[in-house]
C-alpha cells in the first residue's frame, strides 16, 4: 500500500502544521511520520499532535522565537516563510539555508474561526476586542505563500482534502501530490483566504456603520460617438427561441458578473440561462449584506430571502414559491457549502450562481452533471460596487441603443418619510427594506409582499398596479396578514392600499409622488396602516 517515503533518504519531506480545526489531523500526521516525513507545528497544534502520540518539532526551535503578542506573531518569520516560499532553485535553497530555514513540502493550515466568533460577538457573548483577536493573520499568509509556491509545495486548507492527498502522497514516486493536484489545492487555498477576508471585510464594514449611499444623481456625460468594445464569451445553441441564433459578449466591469464568472460544471449555458443568471445575480447582490438566496424564472424573481445562515435563506427562498422555483435559476450571496448543496440538489434547478462552491458542495452537486454552476467571486451590493454612480447600462432597440446609469441606489435613511399617523413598528423595518430591494428587481408594475426576510408574493410585469398587487397578495394568501408590501412606483389611486388593508398588510413602502397621494394616505390612516415614502422610484422594464 505504501509508496516511496521521500525523494531522498537523507532529506526528508517536511510538513508544517498550524490549525484551529484539528479533525483528521492526527491520522494525517501519523501516516506522514510513518512515510518518513518530518513534522513541524505551531504551539497548540503541536500539543494536539503530541497528545495523539505523533512526534512533531515546535516551530520555535526553527525560529528561536516563541509565539509573541498573545499569538499575534507565531509563524511570521523569515525562516518559516522562506521555507514555504523558496523556489526549488539552488539559489533560493542556498539563501534559505544561510538564513537558517528549511524547505517545507507541505503546509497544513486552517484559520481562526472568525465567522463562528462573529456570531458570538453579535449575540453579545464576545467583545469587539475579542472578535478582532480571531482575525487570523499568519494562517492566511501561510496559505497564500504555499499557494504561490505550488511548483514545489502542497497546501491543505480543509480536513476534507486530507484523505485523497495522503493517498496521492503514498502512491507518488516523489512522495508528493501530483502537479495538477498542487495547483488545484493552491486555487482552493486562495479561494478560502478570499472568502475569509470577505467575511472580515463585511463585519468591519458593519461595525463602521452603513456605507454612504451612492449619490442619487451623478452627472455623467454621454459621448457624441459611442464605441463599444466587447469580446465574445460564448455562442449559445440558440437565442431566446430555437429559431434565433444567440451569443453572449463580455464587456469590462468591476465586481462579480456572470460573463466573467467561472463555469464549474453543467450542460452548456443557454442564452436564457445567462440572462436569468444575470438577473439572479443582480437581485442577490442587492441583498448581499446578509446571507441571501433568490430564485428567478423568466427574468423575474419568484422567491427571495435573507436569513442568518445561507441554508435558512435558501430554504426560505425555495419555499416562497415551491412551484415556480422548479427549473429556476438560483443565486446566493455566500459560498455554497455541503449542506446548502444538499438542499439545492433536492430541486430541479437550471443554474446556480454563487461567490464560490466549497469542495464538499461540488461533490454533492457533481451528482447532477447537467446543473450549471457559475462561480463569480465575492458579491457586493450595487451601491457599494458602483459607489460613484457612473456605471452605464446599454439596451438595444431596433435602430438604436438606450444608455443610462445603472440603478445602483438604495433607499436613503434620512430621506424616508412616514406619511401615516401609524409609524412603522421597529420589527418591520428590516422587512420593508428587504421588500423594497426585491421590488427594484421585478418588472414594472411590481408589488412585493414579504415577511420575516422572505417574499410571500411577487406580482410583476403588470400593466396596472392593482393587478400586480392582487397577484402578490393572492400568492401570499393568509400570510399577508402582518406582512409588508413594497411598490416600485407610486399609487395613482387608493385601491392598492385598500386591498392591502383588507388582507391585513401592516406596512407599505412606495416612492410617493402621485397627485393623489393624499387619498392613499387617508386610506392607510383609516385602516391603521403605516406607510413610508422613499422619494425614489425603481421602474424596471
Ligand X SMILES: NC(=O)c1ncn([C@@H]2O[C@H](COP(=O)(O)O)[C@@H](O)[C@H]2O)c1NC=O
Contact residues for ligand X, defined by CB under 6 A: 18-20, 42-45, 71-76, 109-112, 136-139
Q: How far is the CB of 73 from ligand X (least distance, A)?
A: 5
Nearer to ligand X, 62 or 408 (CB): 62
Q: How far is the CB of 356 from ligand X (least distance, A)?
A: 20
Instruction: Output DSSP code: residue 120.
Output: H
Is 148 noted as a catalytic residue in this protein? yes
- Cβ 329 vs Cβ 347: under 8 Å: no
Considering the candidates 171, 243, 267, 298, report the single residue annotated as catalytic: 298
Distance CA 15, CA 246 (A): 51
Q: In the complex, what is the shortest distance from the CB of residue 197 to ligand X, in angstroms, rounded to a whole number?
A: 13
Cβ atoms 405, 220 nearer than 8 A: yes
Q: State the cell numbers at 328.
A: 429556476
Question: Has 267 been annotated as catalytic?
Answer: no
| Bridge-based pairing state of the strands 349-354 and 372-375 | parallel
Which of 48, 77, 148, 541 is flagged as catalytic? 148
Residue 502 CB-density burial (10 A; 0-12 exposed, 13-18 middle, 19+ buried):
exposed
Dmax over Cα atoms in the chain, in whole Å?
Answer: 89
Nearer to ligand X, 73 or 194 (CB): 73
**Residue among 252, 230, 194 nearest 375 (CA):** 194
- Closest to ligand X by CB, 71 vs 215, is 71
Return d(Cα 368, Cα 332) in angstroms, integer.
Answer: 18
CB-wise, 158 or 350, nearer to ligand X?
158
Phi, psi of 381 (to 5 degrees): -60, 150
In the complex, the smallest distance separating the C-beta of residue 336 from ligand X, rounded to whole angstroms, is 23
Q: Report, in Å, the least distance between residue 135 CB and ligand X.
A: 8
Q: Which residue has the cell 415551491?
A: 322
Which is nearer to ligand X, 73 or 343 (by Cβ)? 73
Q: Which is nearer to ligand X, 72 or 171 (CB)?
A: 72
User: CA 301 to CA 287: how far, in whole Å?
Assistant: 13
Mapped onto helix, strand or coil, the DSSP state of residue 191 is helix
Helix or strand run (H / E) with residue 295: strand 292-297
Q: CB 436 → ligand X: shortest distance, Å?
A: 40
DSSP codes of every residue in 405-454: E-------GGG-EE-SSSPPPGGGHHHHHHHHHHHTTSPSS-EEEEETTE
Distance of alpha carbon 394 from alpha carbon 167, whole angstroms:
52
Q: Which residues are catalytic?
A: 148, 298
Amino acid at each position: 500500500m505504501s509508496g516511496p517515503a521521500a525523494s531522498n533518504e537523507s532529506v526528508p519531506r517536511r510538513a508544517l502544521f498550524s490549525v484551529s480545526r484539528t479533525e483528521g489531523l492526527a491520522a494525517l500526521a501519523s501516516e506522514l511520520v510513518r512515510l518518513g516525513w518530518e513534522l513541524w507545528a505551531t504551539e497548540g497544534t503541536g500539543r494536539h499532535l503530541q497528545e495523539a502520540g505523533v512526534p512533531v518539532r515546535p516551530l520555535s526551535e526553527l525560529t528561536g522565537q516563541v509565539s509573541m503578542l498573545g499569538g499575534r506573531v507565531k509563524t511570521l518569520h523569515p525562516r518559516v516563510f522562506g521555507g514555504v516560499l523558496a523556489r526549488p532553485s539552488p539559489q533560493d535553497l542556498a539563501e534559505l539555508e544561510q538564513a537558517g530555514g528549511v524547505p517545507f513540502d507541505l503546509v497544513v493550515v486552517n484559520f481562526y474561526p472568525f465567522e463562528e466568533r462573529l456570531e458570538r460577538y453579535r449575540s453579545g457573548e464576545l467583545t469587539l476586542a475579542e472578535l478582532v483577536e480571531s482575525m487570523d493573520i499568519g494562517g492566511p499568509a501561510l496559505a497564500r505563500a504555499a499557494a504561490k509556491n505550488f511548483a514545489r509545495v502542497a497546501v491543505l486548507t480543509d480536513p476534507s482534502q486530507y484523505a485523497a492527498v495522503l493517498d496521492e502522497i503514498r502512491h507518488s514516486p516523489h512522495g508528493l501530490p501530483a502537479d495538477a493536484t498542487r495547483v488545484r489545492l493552491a486555487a482552493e487555498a486562495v479561494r478560502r483566504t478570499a472568502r475569509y477576508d470577505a467575511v472580515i471585510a463585511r463585519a468591519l464594514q458593519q461595525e463602521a456603520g452603513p456605507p454612504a449611499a451612492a449619490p442619487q444623481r451623478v452627472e455623467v456625460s454621454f459621448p457624441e460617438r459611442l464605441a463599444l468594445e466587447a469580446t465574445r464569451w460564448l455562442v449559445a445553441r440558440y437565442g431566446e427561441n430555437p429559431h434565433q441564433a444567440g451569443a453572449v459578449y463580455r464587456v469590462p466591469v468591476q465586481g462579480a458578473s456572470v460573463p466573467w464568472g467561472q463555469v464549474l460544471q453543467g450542460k452548456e449555458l443557454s442564452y436564457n440561462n445567462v440572462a436569468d443568471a444575470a438577473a439572479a445575480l443582480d437581485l442577490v447582490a442587492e441583498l448581499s449584506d446578509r446571507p441571501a438566496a433568490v430564485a428567478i424564472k423568466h427574468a423575474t424573481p419568484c422567491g427571495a430571502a435573507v436569513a442568518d445562515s445561507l441554508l435558512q435563506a435558501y430554504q426560505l427562498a425555495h419555499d416562497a414559491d415551491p412551484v415556480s422555483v422548479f427549473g429556476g435559476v438560483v443565486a446566493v450571496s455566500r459560498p455554497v457549502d455541503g449542506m446548502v448543496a444538499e438542499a439545492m440538489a433536492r430541486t430541479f434547478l437550471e443554474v446556480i450562481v454563487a461567490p464560490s462552491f466549497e469542495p464538499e458542495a461540488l461533490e454533492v452537486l457533481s451528482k447532477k452533471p447537467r446543473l450549471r454552476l457559475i462561480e463569480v467571486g465575492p458579491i457586493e451590493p450595487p451601491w457599494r460596487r458602483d459607489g460613484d454612480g457612473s456605471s452605464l447600462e446599454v439596451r438595444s432597440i431596433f435602430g438604436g441603443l438606450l444608455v443610462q446609469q445603472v440603478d445602483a441606489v438604495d433607499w436613503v435613511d434620512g430621506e424616508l418619510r412616514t406619511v401615516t399617523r401609524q409609524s412603522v413598528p421597529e420589527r418591520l423595518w428590516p422587512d420593508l427594506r428587504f421588500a423594497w430591494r426585491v421590488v427594484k428587481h421585478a418588472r414594472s408594475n411590481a408589488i412585493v409582499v414579504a415577511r420575516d426576510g422572505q417574499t410571500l408574493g411577487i406580482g410583476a410585469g403588470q400593466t396596472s398596479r392593482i393587478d400586480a398587487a392582487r397577484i402578490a397578495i393572492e400568492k401570499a394568501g393568509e400570510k399577508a396578514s402582518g406582512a409588508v408590501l413594497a411598490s416600485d412606483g407610486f399609487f395613482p389611486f387608493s385601491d392598492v392600499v385598500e386591498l392591502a388593508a383588507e388582507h391585513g398588510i401592516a406596512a407599505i413602502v412606495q416612492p410617493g409622488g402621485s397627485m393623489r397621494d393624499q387619498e392613499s394616505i387617508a386610506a392607510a390612516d383609516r385602516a391603521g396602516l403605516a406607510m413610508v415614502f422613499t422619494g425614489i422610484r425603481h421602474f424596471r422594464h
